Amino acid sequence: MRQWVRFLSVGFLLAAALAFGALQASYRSKPTDRVIRDVGEALRTIETYYSGEWSSDAVLKWAIVDMLLSLDPHSNFLDERAYQRMMEEQRGSFYGIGVSINSIQGVLTVIMPIPGTPAAKAGLRAGDVIAEIDGEPTKGQPLDDLIRKLRGPKNTEVRLTIVRQGYEAPFSVTLVRDEIPLVSVVNAFVTPDGIGYLRVRNFAERTYEEIRSHLEEFQKAGLKGLVLDLRDNPGGLLEEAVRVADLFLPPGLTIVTVRGRGIGRVVEYKSEQEDPYETLPLIVLTNRGTASASEIVAGAIQDHDRGLIVGETTWGKGLVQTLYPLSFNTAVAITTARYYTPSGRLIQRSYASFFEYSFPQVQSSPLTPGSPDRPQFQTDLGRFVTGGGGIQPDVAVESFRDPEVLQAIEQEFYRRVAPVNGLPYLEFARFFAPVEKADEERQHRSTRQLLSPDFQVDDALLTRFQDFLRQREIPFDETAFRRDREVIRQVLRRELIERLWGESEGYRYFLTFDPQFKKAQEVIPKARQMWSQRLQALKKKEVSS
């Protein structure tokens, strides 16, 4: 397989050389050679006749992307930047200052500092404008170039000039670059009732250690049950998913079976170690964004009746990719196997239509039961589950969605201002500051309004938000705004908390009115009863054997 991948990359390099007259050679008359010759002639034709500007590198990269997409939706080409990002995600760290940034109308803007990083310790806040990096203006510069300037070797310095809404003048701050951890567990706490909550954003090299560490802390608080939130978790490393599932399963149970091409290419992963969390009542939250490695965990939990799946049907990705590095720090991800849940399910959704596969929410509700002709399987206790279209929840609950009037407002910002998610709230939050920063605000003669962590969105704050929209000339349905004002209060408070006190705090407040999390807490007793029944069956099997 590796040789085949290399052959394809060499083929495209030869085609590029043909296009620019750098290669003069004859090819044997084979279909592959004819296709390569067609590519070369097409490139020469573009070079000769195309009226606009073009890049041969960009054209060839898209040719490789389309070639791989013709295989399946998940085989892909990673250019140097994408490959670097993937490796950082899997390693779980990079070197820099620890800040999420974006370009808004050519202005480099802080979206969110990462907690505990140099950026957060230096006091950078959501909405800050980074006007200069080491004395060089940032306005209008390519975002990738600016990201490279902010990153660099550990213990090196970078000086930023910051413009902050409401401050009398810009100010400078010098940061020392450090290793920036990309944690997998982004929320972790125990409710007053003893229910632990873990929100896992991906499966990287340290995901298992992070989860285990949090569980050890939870036990000190008298843990009575666990909600494992895998919503919008796109997956990651297969091995980490197996290790996480192993935390909750007794030894000897199948977690996933991976079947590759050719005879003997079958690997069965089983739970191996004993853990104190194997009897803990367990709920797994899922939605359409739950995919790949996340579905491996959810599938193992469901098939062994270890816990209940609450929420919406998952994405349905049962293909396994292997990453093959190429020359010049690029790579291709090729589908090399399929995985099957313990009951034998292949949960891969059909990708006959690329549009339907990419936008499943347009085609059907994530709560709609699967087609009756989907293959049927049984869990250990005999419950029926289906394959071929994601993992359906045991308890279906629709995701919370912002009112349509707020969705329309965000779309207007996206279209008129910049394609940045959550932009209306980021812009509005610039006019506020945490009350804990009162001294700093006074020092800079700030005009921003101070808010305490327990602030409420009263009528005055709602009116101010509407005035802000009018000043920005963003149209909105005022009748719908009045009708949905109570839900809008919740959403606006969530968004302001996130910008002023961090994403983790904003999401924790969101959980107070999240219907899926509420249902998860309600059905903990049902999950406990089901797993108790399954454990009794396992003990009887051990005695009889």
Write the CATH number for 288.
Answer: 3.90.226.10
pLDDT over 90 at 355, yes or no: no
The reply to whether 12 falls in a domain is yes
- The C-alpha atoms of residue 540 and residue 526 are separated, in whole angstroms, by 22
HSE value, Cβ hemisphere, 13 Å, CA-based, for 455 = 26
- pLDDT digits 0-9 by tens, 359-385: 766 445 555 555 567 889 999 999 999
**Chain position carrying tokens 């009263």:** 458
Q: What is the mean pLDDT of residues 443-449?
A: 95
**Could you tell me the two tokens for 332?**
């291709």
With CA atoms as reference, report the closest residue to 37 among 70, 66, 2, 12: 12
HSE value, Cβ hemisphere, 13 Å, CA-based, for 523 = 24
- pLDDT digits 0-9 by tens, 88-98: 887 878 899 99
Q: Do 418 and 375 belong to one domain?
A: no
Is residue 225 a contact partner of residue 254, using CB atoms and an 8 Å limit?
A: no
In a 3-state reduction of DSSP, which class is residue 418?
A: coil
Q: Do 360 and 425 belong to one domain?
A: no
The reply to whether 86 falls in a domain is no
Q: Do 393 and 485 belong to one domain?
A: no
Q: Do 273 and 368 belong to one domain?
A: yes
Q: Do 174 and 190 belong to one domain?
A: no
Rounded to the nearest 5 degrees, what angle is found at the Cα of 30, between the Cα atoms of 27 and 33?
A: 50
Distance of CA 242 to the CA centre of its chain: 19
Q: Which of 398, 425, 443 is the last residue of a domain?
A: 398
Q: Do 163 and 233 belong to one domain?
A: no
Q: Do 368 and 220 belong to one domain?
A: yes
pLDDT over 60 at 33, yes or no: yes
The continuous run of DSSP H or E covering 470 comes out as: helix 459-471
Percent of the chain surpassing pLDDT 70 = 90
Is residue 424 a contact partner of residue 413, using CB atoms and an 8 Å limit?
A: yes
In a 3-state reduction of DSSP, which class is residue 55?
A: coil
With CA atoms as reference, report the closest residue to 135 among 171, 106, 161: 161
pLDDT over 90 at 240, yes or no: yes
pLDDT over 70 at 26, yes or no: no
The reply to whether 381 falls in a domain is yes
Is residue 503 a contact partner of residue 429, using CB atoms and an 8 Å limit?
A: no
pLDDT over 60 at 134, yes or no: yes
Reduce the secondary structure of 181-247 to three states and give it as a string: ECCCEEEEEECCCCEEEEEECCECCCHHHHHHHHHHHHHHCCCCEEEEECCCCCCECHHHHHHHHHH
Q: Do 263 and 369 belong to one domain?
A: yes
With CA atoms as reference, report the closest residue to 198 among 126, 294, 111: 294
**Could you tell me the two tokens for 288?**
């359409």
The pLDDT-based confidence of 80 (bands split at 50, 70, 90) is confident
So what's the pLDDT on residue 544? 63
Neighbours of 15 (CB within 10 A): 21
Neighbours of 322 (CB within 10 A): 15
The reply to whether 521 falls in a domain is no
So what's the pLDDT on residue 30? 57
Residues designated catalytic: 292, 303, 317
Q: Do 477 and 376 belong to one domain?
A: no
- pLDDT digits 0-9 by tens, 282-297: 999 999 999 999 999 9
Q: Do 201 and 306 belong to one domain?
A: yes
Mean of pLDDT over the chain: 89
The reply to whether 82 falls in a domain is no
So what's the pLDDT on residue 319? 92
HSE value, Cβ hemisphere, 13 Å, CA-based, for 535 = 15
pLDDT over 50 at 14, yes or no: no
For 417, the domain range is 404-513
pLDDT over 70 at 423, yes or no: yes
The reply to whether 226 falls in a domain is yes
**Chain position carrying tokens 């370009």:** 103
**Could you tell me the two tokens for 80?**
């140097």
Q: Do 241 and 332 belong to one domain?
A: yes
User: Into how many domains does the chain fold?
Assistant: 4
Q: Do 135 and 271 belong to one domain?
A: no
Handedness of CA 15, 16, 18, 24 (dihedral sign): negative
So what's the pLDDT on residue 40? 85
- For every residue of 85-118, DSSP letters joined together read HHHHHHHTEEEE--EEEEEETTEEEEEEEPTTSH
- For every residue of 400-414, DSSP letters joined together read P---HHHHHHHHHHH
The reply to whether 84 falls in a domain is no
In a 3-state reduction of DSSP, which class is residue 426?
A: helix
